[in-house]
Structure 1
Amino acid sequence: MSLVAVKGLLLLAASPQVYAAAEPPRVPAPVAAAPAEDDPVPAAEDEAPGQGDITVTARRRQENVQQVPIAVSVVSGATLDAQGTYNLSRLTQLTPTLQFYSQNPRNTFINIRGIGAPFGLTNDGFEQGVGIYIDDVYYNRIASATLDFVDVERIETLRGPQGTLYGKNTTAGAINITTQAPSFEFGGKAEVSLGNLDFKQGKVSVTGPLAENLAVRLSATATDRRGTLYNTTQRRFIQSQDSVGVRGSLLWKVKPDLDITLSGDWNLQDPICCAFTYGSYGPTQRPANRQYPGLVSYFPGYAVPSTNPYDRVTDVDAELRARNEHGGLSARLVWDIDDANTLTSISAWRYWDWTPANDRDYTGLPIYTKVNNPTKQNQYTQEFRFNHQGSGFDVTFGLFGFHQKIRTSGIQETGPAASRWLLAPTSALSTNPAVLNNVVAVNDIRLDNTSIAAFGKLNWEVTDRFVVSPGVRINYDKKDGLYNSVVTGTASNGTRQVVSPVPGSPSYNDPWTAAQRGIQASQFFEPEFSAWNLSYDLNLRYELADDINLYATYSRAFKTGGINLNGVPADANGAPILAAATIKPEKVDHFEGGIKTQFWDRRITFNLTGFWTDIKDFQANVSNGQFGTVRGYLANAEKVRSRGLEADFSVRPSARFNAYATGAFTDAEYVKFCDAPPPPELSGGTTLPATGPCSYSGVVGAPGQPGGNSPPFVDASGQDLPGVSKWAFSWGAEANTEGNVFGEAGQFYLGYDGSYRSDWSSNPTPSIYTNVDGYSLHNFRAGFRTDKFDLFAWVRNAFDQDYIDLLLAGTGGNTGLIAAQVGDPQTFGGTVKLNF
């Protein structure tokens, strides 16, 4: 059955009849504690119910979020539905210190407090610092977690290192998603949303018993939206949304103290995607005739369709595709051995199949006709946890095992415009399209990644108000990789030849081959990495008074070392420099303290957090000036720091009104990074010779002055990390009043949510051309709900704010072309939600 047919059946199944609606949306504080779920329609009397206890599993056990001695943001499934937050990218509007950037599913990065992933370079051989877990199953690749939410009970965003309980991949934090479990009471919900841009979304979920000890839950979702960017070359809209997902779980109560839950899911995103618009022109140090205006002049009749990115048009000419398929199976066993002891086992297999097609020159010219890296992943995880509840203490012990195989079979191909665009005009070869036309790089990239760990966490009640919680985790990692890029091109005699970097190789001195080698050459190496690492932490919590908790945390964490699988620099003999093939582990020292409070009979929640994180050997995108040549790859910056304050506030003075406000100040910078890649304005000229790891000789030309001298690297010490705003806020409120529609008693309600982030750098090294201006977004919703249905209208980005998601330097990084990824325009529509 085709994807279109599946989506059509899903939308039909979710179409409204006269069934009841899902639980009505509330506006709990998305970063502080959310209010407890009450009856869908509050009692008539205007009382002021407290916000109750919010139970989370942030520390692998159930506890009140206000008593957890770490910074945790909690968002309920009802809030996600009400605010249209149906995937991870939209979660950033609710969690100020969470940043999400995506050129496409594979090139996706998530940071918390400014740290988590190297910015601007995708590489199979490293791991991100924000762990994503769905029902306790670890998702190693962010691309495999870019699914639309369905049947989510809550999302917990744990800020700061979580290495003791969550592992090596959580130096910045973790996102812990819990879905709704099967129920032994029959029920279900359905939802349909329609909006502008031909937006259509359907969700349906059914649960109930199959037998006395068996319960099942089946869920599905489909989303479809016309693209927001018009491609004048292909004469169609691109940047569309096109996804479908199904999920099923079976709960088997083997006996009263033993539960087994089997789960499976399948997800497919297949949009017409992804491309950038023309953003701006920023002069570099490249000769003027090799910068964007000069290069374009070599192609009479060509002009970019618009120089205003907010016109939302592009003219990319290569095929576009972003097919992202992923799914898996898991088995969760929970055995309550007795009143004090519980054993939990989680076994899982997940796969990821990425099939892309890109235009990486960001123009309508056939410069790069293919830059595609199809990737397949299989991962296997097994975790055992043993929880013991003693007198005045509880303890968790566990074992974790992980194995991953990634296979990428990539291709890069240049077209007939490549010679003019990529070769110096002073060379006669630049006017001959045949020189670089059909230069093809076929890449075979492989990773085998194995990790095992043992961990423990103790919570010791020293007094009835003072709790000490030490934890430790020992981890072993082993990575084996292969990078084999075979580049072929046409030699001057018309034969196809391998483009080798090794002096004396066939056709090495052929002028056409030499020109091709300057663009890309063959390379083969097999990097490997293995290491043991120890993480530990200490949490202190003191209950100053009822509903007032002070806490402090110290954590020593790490992010495992990696291997470069995108190519490395070559020496004078053309051999890969293997010293650049391995990336050292990050070493993290983290300090955090805060206060969590509730008062006015728990109508008000206010939490305040301060943090300071130092990271040595930060994994970053660098230029390899220390090796005497210039090529971007992953290496280690000596030290970075992230520090700041976070405040969360929510209030519910009555059953008729609730509101929240959250804010964060984040100061994240390179403390010492002496070999950072030069920004565009300091690149493209005559590269000065490196004389040491962080030194070079000569005088650097003026920024953006054509024909100047360019440094092989720059000292970025003291400069801001990319992707993080110093200031970020989110806020919102909802008011309701009793009413009656067609004999149904319920609530009329009006909700508003806003967010703001200040400017931020969109380049690995801050650049005057890629600084993204700050912006605010405003969303509204209004409707009527009962315990049977919820009918509401919504508008997102209500004031049609123009804003940028991402800026990046175009082809080569030094032509002066700055490409832009533009944020969503105003969208509006309506939603019907039913319960049965």
Structure 2
Amino acid sequence: MRHFLLAGAAIAALATPAFAQDAQPAADTAAQGFEADSVRATGEIIVTARRRQETAQEVPLAISVVGANQIESTGNFNILKLQQLAPTLQVYSSNPRNTSVNIRGLGVPFGLTSDGFEQGVGIYVDDVYNSRVAAAVFDFLDVNQVEVLRGPQGTLYGKNTTAGAINITTNQPTFDFEGRAEVTAGNLNFKQAKVAVSGPLSDKVAARIAAGVTSRRGTLYNVNSQQYVNEQDNLGVRGTLLFKPSDDLSITLSGDYSKQDPEGYTTVFVRVGRTQRPLNRQYDALVAAANANGRNYAVPSRNPYDRLSDTDANLNAGNKIGGTSLKVNWDVGLGKFTSITAWRFWDWKPENDRDFTGLSIVSKSQNPSQQDQYSQEFRYNYEGDRIDFVVGLFGFKQRIDTQGTEQQGIDASRWSLSGTQAGNPAILNGLTATNTQYLKSTSAALFGQAAWKVTDQLTIQPGVRLNYDKKSGFYQRVVTNGAGAVINCTPAPAAGTDLAAQCGVYQPQLTRPSASKWNFSYDVNVNYKFARGILGYATYAKSFKTLGINQNGLPLTAANVPDLSASTVKPESVHHFELGLKTQFWDRRATFNISAFRTSIKNFQATVNGGQFGTVRGYLANADKVRSQGIETDFRINPSDRFLAYVSGAYTDAKYKKFTNAPCPPELSGGTLQAASATPDYSQPGVPGALSPRQCDISGQRLPGVSRWSASFGAEANLPVTLLDNEGQAYFGGDGNYRSHWNSNASPSAYTEIRGYVLTNFRAGFRTERFDVFGWVRNAFDKKYIDLLQVAPGNVGLIAGNPGDQRTWGATVKAKF
């Protein structure tokens, strides 16, 4: 099957782009004015959220729909930027692999990258599941629309959608020739070009091909390499062949390939916060001690908005992702049969600077990974007068291989050791951990959902899914000292020796975690049409996120051996309630939707971290209970072809209801540990030399990464104009988003609180049926804000971060032919 799919991808790449897509062209949620007249006249948005075509207002769930023209006009060309248009979507990324996609504060354990757990927000491109969240950082290519489905979607989308799903559909081949091209240029040397061509190869075969490139100078300047870093350097191609031998049968073969090769990624100095480490072993004192030996080190700036970095390790973020799919749609008269066969790959080649400084503490950090995944889905859809249903089978197989190297540098002893050992760089210099690991994952599911139209107004919609998962992994860490000799840390070496110091940084390990689990999930939705254009619904869902295994090493027992009891992590158990009301009025010129939700999760898969460079770098554990609840609203008005406006808002209260063994924030870390039998004492945060709790009770505290208040808004007005004998529209538009403050650490810390902000964008231009020319400015008021804060390892109090994009501006030309 793999060779068959590869051959198909090669053929498709020579002929076309886009995975198979059944949906008709859709009007943008907030930009219908850009769409075809026939679609704009109906005011309807066609979605496939329930695996069949229907209007967004008919779907009894909370859904945000963003069309292609809104994506292009607002510059939101990947999921990282899409969150500006969907208030409850949160995306955080320090590099492609370290990317978290959350909805309503739920989805991915914050601050941990591990192959051994599932994400809680599923990303689907033309019905194909992308298991690696790294797919989220690639540019949208020839996209028709993006649906953000909020709340558990486990019945139809699977185990990986406890928080929601992102359903991306691309443009399909056409039997009428069409082409589109787009070119954009802006400051920071921003350049972007896209092209798509579609048309018939015969009366039964159509093809489509698309390509896009994006480049931009980095937003940070590295004073050591004298280069701009955190660049954009993206390339993507997509090809599709559509074979339609009859009106009842269509076969679509698709292939895509995307590549990123930027100079990046790194951070800047943001602040220093006091920890419980002895004062002479915190950041400022350590820098002073290093300089006392003839160094002259100083961070290039303590103002993060100077955008200066002094990273001294190599940086690389080579990222490739792609695959092929074969989709068959067959109308058998009494229903529609669909088969989707897919293979995808991911190749990640990183180099990082994990100490976040210009000192050589960690001189090398790289964990390249390669992934293959195969999936097969069969679905049967039936639509009747009183009963609609979909049933299906899903199979998935995945393997991920990772080869890691992390090495200590000349300044590591000063940073990590104490006493006389701190002054001996030879103890840690060259200490190297070489990691070899793999993960094998297999899933199978049987699912179904029905809709019983009790009356013309009342519909009851139950759904079920039976899922089986098996995961097996391998992790081996071999540690060598600066002379290249392999070290052994079992039994535990005598305290105070050089070997004990080395084992305190990198601990050799060998583990083979393995587990399997059956899970049953279900939901029921009751919806009622109160009147034309008014739909109310209530949903209960019992869902799960499958078991996890710890792939990055395990914590140690008192005997200094891996704690095998931490090898596996229990599945999350999700209970979700939601009420919603969808309304359209004023002859469909206005839409107002509102939803209220409450999601409770038992055995929440959370991050636990020992705070050191390597010994207990990070692993998963189960928090007892997490809860997210809130209210979301969407309002859209389009009184005429000359004006449209929208505003969406969300209030989200997401917190740990019970998490008694959480990692402590930096202000309660770094000191000598309190006695194991002692009641944890949290009364001396940030007091150097104070005793540190072994773990912290953060019950009642807010989940990281989620703002309590968020909103997006926009408007556009146009006038008919004739310019150079071309009849068209002159238009002016604006859009923006707001986020209240939020915390950027797995255990909320006073040092990682990120202030709220408002970003505002404007555009103005002239368009006709054949072309569109406009200028744009994003972050028009040059708001200074932080995308992400990170706690540097070692409990030295250093906080590094990623400042958000400054004001950018440019111009775009789009043409149809």
TM-score by length of 1: 0.92
| Structure 1 spans left out of the alignment, 5+ residues | 1-9, 11-22, 43-48
> Could you give the per-residue CA deviations for residues 171-230 of structure 1, whole angstroms, max 9, x where no partner exists?
000000000000000110000000000000000000000011000000000000000000
> Could you give the per-residue CA deviations for residues 634-672 of structure 1, whole angstroms, max 9, x where no partner exists?
100000000000000000111100000000000000000
Distance verdict in 2 for CA 1:69–1:766, change over 3 Å: same
Q: Which amino acid aligns with 2:623?
A: A
2:805 alignment partner in structure 1? 824
2 CA distance for matches of 1:240 and 1:250?
A: 34
Does structure 1 residue 772 correspond to structure 2 residue 760? no
1:631 Cα deviation from its structure 2 partner: 6.2
3-state SS in 2 of match to 1:799: coil
1 CA distance for matches of 2:494 and 2:97?
A: 35
1 CA distance for matches of 2:723 and 2:26?
A: 18
Q: Do the aligned residues in 2 keep the contact of 1:700 with 1:708 (CA within 8 Å)?
A: no
1:419 alignment partner in structure 2? 413
1:808 alignment partner, one of 790, 796, 801: 790
* Structural RMSD (CA): 1.9
Among the aligned pairs, what percent are the same residue? 55
2:745 alignment partner in structure 1? 763
2 CA distance for matches of 1:796 and 1:624?
A: 40
2 CA distance for matches of 1:631 and 1:437?
A: 19
1:294 alignment partner in structure 2? 285
1:39 Cα deviation from its structure 2 partner: 2.7
1:639 alignment partner, one of 622, 625, 628: 625
1:574 Cα deviation from its structure 2 partner: 2.7
Does structure 1 residue 204 correspond to structure 2 residue 192? no
1:624 Cα deviation from its structure 2 partner: 7.4
Q: Do the aligned residues in 1 keep the contact of 2:121 with 2:162 (CA within 8 Å)?
A: yes
Q: Which amino acid aligns with 2:30?
A: A
1:284 alignment partner, one of 266, 269, 275: 275
Q: Do the aligned residues in 2 keep the contact of 1:288 with 1:706 (CA within 8 Å)?
A: yes
Q: Which amino acid aligns with 1:819?
A: A
Q: Do the aligned residues in 2 keep the contact of 1:168 with 1:560 (CA within 8 Å)?
A: yes
2 CA distance for matches of 1:361 and 1:209?
A: 55
Does structure 1 residue 443 correspond to structure 2 residue 431? no
Q: Do the aligned residues in 1 keep the contact of 2:25 with 2:144 (CA within 8 Å)?
A: no
Distance verdict in 2 for CA 1:775–1:657, change over 3 Å: same
Q: Do the aligned residues in 2 keep the contact of 1:752 with 1:781 (CA within 8 Å)?
A: yes
1:160 alignment partner, one of 148, 151, 158: 151
Q: Do the aligned residues in 2 keep the contact of 1:56 with 1:64 (CA within 8 Å)?
A: yes
2 CA distance for matches of 1:803 and 1:328?
A: 36
1:549 Cα deviation from its structure 2 partner: 0.4
Moved more, 175-184 or 136-145: 136-145
2:320 alignment partner in structure 1? 325
Q: Do the aligned residues in 2 keep the contact of 1:25 with 1:81 (CA within 8 Å)?
A: no
1:699 Cα deviation from its structure 2 partner: 4.2
2:36 alignment partner in structure 1? 38
> Could you give the per-residue CA deviations for residues 451-477 of structure 1, whole angstroms, max 9, x where no partner exists?
000000001100001111000000000
1:50 Cα deviation from its structure 2 partner: 6.0
Distance verdict in 2 for CA 1:530–1:801, change over 3 Å: same
1:311 alignment partner in structure 2? 306
2:470 alignment partner, one of 465, 470, 478: 478
Q: Which amino acid aligns with 2:723?
A: V
Does structure 1 residue 533 correspond to structure 2 residue 528? no
> Could you give the per-residue CA deviations for residues 583-641 of structure 1, whole angstroms, max 9, x where no partner exists?
1000000000110000011110000000000000000012579xxx9764210000000
1:754 alignment partner in structure 2? 736
Q: Do the aligned residues in 2 keep the contact of 1:58 with 1:158 (CA within 8 Å)?
A: yes
2:3 alignment partner in structure 1? none
2:213 alignment partner in structure 1? 222
3-state SS in 2 of match to 1:497: coil
1 CA distance for matches of 2:389 and 2:227?
A: 58
Does structure 1 residue 664 correspond to structure 2 residue 655? no
1 CA distance for matches of 2:302 and 2:27?
A: 42
1:509 Cα deviation from its structure 2 partner: 7.9
1:501 Cα deviation from its structure 2 partner: 2.5
Counterparts of 1:65-464 in structure 2, within 5 Å, are 65-300=56-291, 301-338=296-333, 340-424=334-418, 426=419, 428-464=420-456
> Could you give the per-residue CA deviations for residues 713-737 of structure 1, whole angstroms, max 9, x where no partner exists?
1111000000000000000000000
Distance verdict in 2 for CA 1:24–1:543, change over 3 Å: closer
Distance verdict in 2 for CA 1:658–1:446, change over 3 Å: same
2 CA distance for matches of 1:368 and 1:130?
A: 33
1:590 alignment partner in structure 2? 576
Distance verdict in 2 for CA 1:110–1:699, change over 3 Å: closer
Distance verdict in 2 for CA 1:228–1:36, change over 3 Å: closer
Q: Do the aligned residues in 1 keep the contact of 2:195 with 2:212 (CA within 8 Å)?
A: yes
| Structure 2 spans left out of the alignment, 5+ residues | 1-12, 14-23
1:702 alignment partner in structure 2? 684
3-state SS in 1 of match to 2:415: helix
TM-score by length of 2: 0.94
1:26 Cα deviation from its structure 2 partner: 8.0
1:296 Cα deviation from its structure 2 partner: 0.4
> Could you give the per-residue CA deviations for residues 129-171 of structure 1, whole angstroms, max 9, x where no partner exists?
0000000000001113421011111100000000000000000
1:518 alignment partner, one of 487, 504, 512: 504
1:18 alignment partner in structure 2? none
> Could you give the per-residue CA deviations for residues 662-700 of structure 1, whole angstroms, max 9, x where no partner exists?
000000000000011100100001111333xxxx44645
> Could you give the per-residue CA deviations for residues 3-53 of structure 1, whole angstroms, max 9, x where no partner exists?
xxxxxxx9xxxxxxxxxxxx99986338xxx6793339x9xxxxxx76622
> Could you give the per-residue CA deviations for residues 319-373 of structure 1, whole angstroms, max 9, x where no partner exists?
00001001000000000011x3110000000000000000010110111011110
1:14 alignment partner in structure 2? none
Does structure 1 residue 467 correspond to structure 2 residue 459? yes
Query: Relative contact order: is structure 1 or structure 2 higher (C-alpha 8 Å, sep ≥ 6)?
Result: 1
1:741 alignment partner in structure 2? 723
Does structure 1 residue 731 correspond to structure 2 residue 688? no
Q: Do the aligned residues in 2 keep the contact of 1:285 with 1:683 (CA within 8 Å)?
A: yes
2 CA distance for matches of 1:825 and 1:728?
A: 20
Q: Do the aligned residues in 1 keep the contact of 2:314 with 2:353 (CA within 8 Å)?
A: yes
1:529 Cα deviation from its structure 2 partner: 1.2
Q: Do the aligned residues in 2 keep the contact of 1:50 with 1:652 (CA within 8 Å)?
A: no
Q: Do the aligned residues in 2 keep the contact of 1:222 with 1:244 (CA within 8 Å)?
A: yes
> Could you give the per-residue CA deviations for residues 766-799 of structure 1, whole angstroms, max 9, x where no partner exists?
1000000000000000000000100000000000
1:389 Cα deviation from its structure 2 partner: 2.0
